[in-house]
Amino acid sequence: MIRHVLVGILLSASLCLAQDELPTVRMIRAYGGTNEQLPPIVMLDSEAEHEVGSPFATVEFDLAANTIPNVYARATHCTADWRPDDNGFLADITNRTSLVNWSLAPERSKYYRYRGKIKIPNEQTTLKFSGNWLITIYDLNTDAPIAQTRIFAVNKRAAMQLAFMTDFYEPKKRVSSIAYTIEATVTERTGKLLTNNLHTVTYYRNHRWNEPFIVSDQVSTDLNPRGVGNAIVGILQGGKVFRISRLPAQNEYRVLDLTDLSRFPFTGQPVRMPLSDLRRNGMFIQKSDDGALITDMVSGYNDEYVPVEINLDPAPGGASEDDVFVVGSFNNWKPDRTWMMHYDEELRLYRCRNWLRRGRQDYLYATGRLSADSDEILDLSFEEFEGNTASASNSFVAFAYYREFDFGGYDGIVAVTASNIYTNGR
């Protein structure tokens, strides 16, 4: 009798542990509307001209779990440099949604089981204020956060134009010193917005939303990489000018096309890239997808993750003195230790094995230092293996922030634009 009771207790405990186990997030991303190539920019004024924005953003995430998880998404308003607002009017804990459109992974999928998509805003949640919004996915049973992504909301009240100029910087490695100076000119017909309240412009390389370049007189610019300059030039040509300078041009993204089933079949074993990648310095062959992951050509039957071995040939310079990482659309351009490459002394190659979603992936090789204390990657740079070239077509997206004084004050976005050196205004 006692034995049966103990068995029952153990089974109940195991069941509780299984129910409390958090789902594993394999990927999360955000994009505009239903187009995965658009930035996740929501235009709050439906009558405004949509240059780069959409009526809503889609947050998409893949999970490994035994059953359809109970999750919800919460929207948190942030300052221009992504600090969550402590303003009571903005910190609305009820601004959340559980309206998730679920789909199943292919039956043979081993890496993820469920894909969720959330439309923001929707019937349950709104974006009442323009600005930066953190979208955090929580497990409903434990209220534990399991994933996070970023979107932008714009109340367009001004216009903005970007002007690109080639510049120079001092690279640490023996690569081209080509850089950009970019000027954002914000104009407004009445001139009422062109005051000290129009205080910040942030620049992002398209789809790389964890890397803001900040020009501001009210928000900290500590997030800018070392050596990057920023200045508010003043009122020129009827607009307020925000200048970022000495931005390394970087290179065109490399493309890894996993849609070719003959080259990348699903066998359950890592598929080695057919040819080892090589160092570049100002050269590229194939145009990329501007940093986006493109999957719309993949059928539902093949919409899975493939284990891939990525190889980098460091010749002729040999192995780097720093840690080497593979960075791209598969990790939202924000690598961690799982994307660190290891140098194989016998093959004389850098190797990294990981699961990549089938589609067209954009990526680059970076160097940096993995902190043993915090697991952060310090001094991430693309110089050594990628070089720099102003011929790359990578776009920049810029946002202009105005200090709104309603509801206790917040950083609202009043203008947005996107451009690259081929479509710039100078």
d(CA 280, CA 386): 5
Q: 418: which residues sit within 8 A by CB, 6+ positions away?
A: 39, 51, 52, 162, 206, 395, 396, 397, 398
Written in H, E and C, the secondary structure of 24-60 is EEEEEEEEECCCCCCCCEEECCCCCCCCCCECCEEEE
pLDDT score recorded for residue 30: 98
Whether this model's pTM surpasses 0.75 = yes
Q: How far is CA 185 from the centre of its chain?
A: 25
Identify whether the C-beta of residue 404 lies closer than 8 Å to the C-beta of residue 190: no
Question: Parallel, antiparallel, or unpaired for β 24-32 and 57-64?
Answer: antiparallel
Residues of the chain above pLDDT 90, percent: 77
d(CA 333, CA 326): 9
d(CA 180, CA 244): 8
Question: What tens digit of pLDDT does each residue of 142-166 get?
Answer: 999 999 999 999 999 999 999 999 9
pLDDT score recorded for residue 382: 95
Residue with the two structure tokens 């780069």: 52
Pick the CATH number of 23-153 from 3.40.50.300, 3.40.50.800, 2.60.40.1930, 3.30.830.10: 2.60.40.1930
DSSP state of 302: G
Question: What tens digit of pLDDT does each residue of 212-228 get?
Answer: 999 999 999 999 998 99
Which CATH architecture describes the domain 159-250+391-419?
Sandwich (2.60)
Question: What tens digit of pLDDT does each residue of 75-127 get?
Answer: 999 999 999 998 878 877 888 999 999 999 999 898 999 999 999 999 999 99
Question: Parallel, antiparallel, or unpaired for β 305-313 and 271-272?
Answer: parallel
CB atoms within 10 A of CB 354: 16
Query: Angle at the Cα of 316 (from 312 to 321), degrees rounded to 5?
Result: 70
pLDDT score recorded for residue 48: 54
d(CA 180, CA 169): 9
Question: What tens digit of pLDDT does each residue of 296-346 get?
Answer: 999 999 999 999 999 999 988 899 999 999 999 999 999 999 999 999 999
Start-end ranges of CATH 2.60.40.1930 in the chain?
23-153
Q: What is the mean pLDDT of the chain?
A: 90
Torsional class of 321: left (φ above 0), alpha (ψ -120 to 50), beta (otherwise): alpha
| Closest alpha carbon to 160 in 99, 208, 203, 127 | 203
Residues of the chain above pLDDT 70, percent: 93
DSSP string for residues in 81-105: TSPBP--TTT--TT-EE---EEEEP
